[in-house]
């Protein structure tokens, strides 16, 4: 092995060791995925799982059971969520998610026919210990 090959080998090895301890899950791109994952749990009426996406501080003030009950029993029925875009700095992102939903409207034909619509939800996500969490308003 030549000295150049040895240097390259040592450099690649050192790089592999250095990167081996890094968590890539907390990168800014992961907030795209996490924001939609949280909505998908809400859509499936699995708010107990969406609870894990709340900031640690929020989880300290509300139990999983209370959060799940309040989110799963809303009059709105969420149908789909699609990531739109985000505006980020180092540890905070404003995430725009397009959400389709239906709401039963009393007096809208019969006994409260559902009205379907969509809206862009603007959410605040913060990075805590290299992971992104939803910060409710």
Q: Per-residue pLDDT tens for 17-27?
A: 232 223 334 66
Segments in the chain forming alpha helices (H): 3-20, 30-43, 47-50, 56-61, 64-72
- Are 92 and 127 in contact by the 8 Å Cβ rule? The answer is yes
Nearest CA-CA partner of 24 in 129, 130, 126: 130
pLDDT of residue 104: 81
Give tens-digit pLDDT for 78-99.
999 999 999 999 899 999 999 9
pLDDT of residue 114: 85
Q: What are the Cα distances from residue 79, in Å, to 75, 98, 133, 136?
A: 13, 11, 22, 20
* CATH architecture for residues 26-135: Roll (3.10)
Q: What pTM value is reported for the model?
A: 0.76
C-alpha span between 84 and 96 (Å, rounded): 5
Q: Where are the domains of the chain?
A: 26-135
pLDDT in tens, 26-42: 666 799 999 999 999 99
DSSP state letter for 123: E
Binned at pLDDT 50, 70 and 90, residue 112 comes out as: low
Q: Give the DSSP letter of residue 55.
A: -
- Binned at pLDDT 50, 70 and 90, residue 6 comes out as very low
């Amino acid at each position: 092995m030549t000295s150049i090959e040895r240097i390259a080998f040592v450099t690649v090895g050192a790089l592999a060791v250095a990167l081996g301890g890094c968590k890539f899950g907390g990168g800014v791109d992961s907030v795209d995925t996490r924001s939609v994952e949280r909505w998908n749990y809400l859509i499936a009426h699995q708010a107990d799982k969406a609870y894990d996406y709340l900031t640690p501080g929020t989880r300290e003030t509300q139990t999983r059971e209370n959060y799940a009950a309040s989110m799963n029993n809303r009059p709105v029925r969420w149908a789909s969520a699609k990531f739109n875009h985000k505006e980020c700095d180092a540890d905070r992102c404003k995430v725009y998610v397009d959400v389709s939903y239906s709401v039963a409207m009393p007096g809208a034909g019969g006994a409260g026919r559902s009205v379907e619509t969509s809206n862009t939800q603007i959410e605040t996500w913060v990075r805590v210990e290299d992971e992104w969490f939803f910060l409710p308003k």
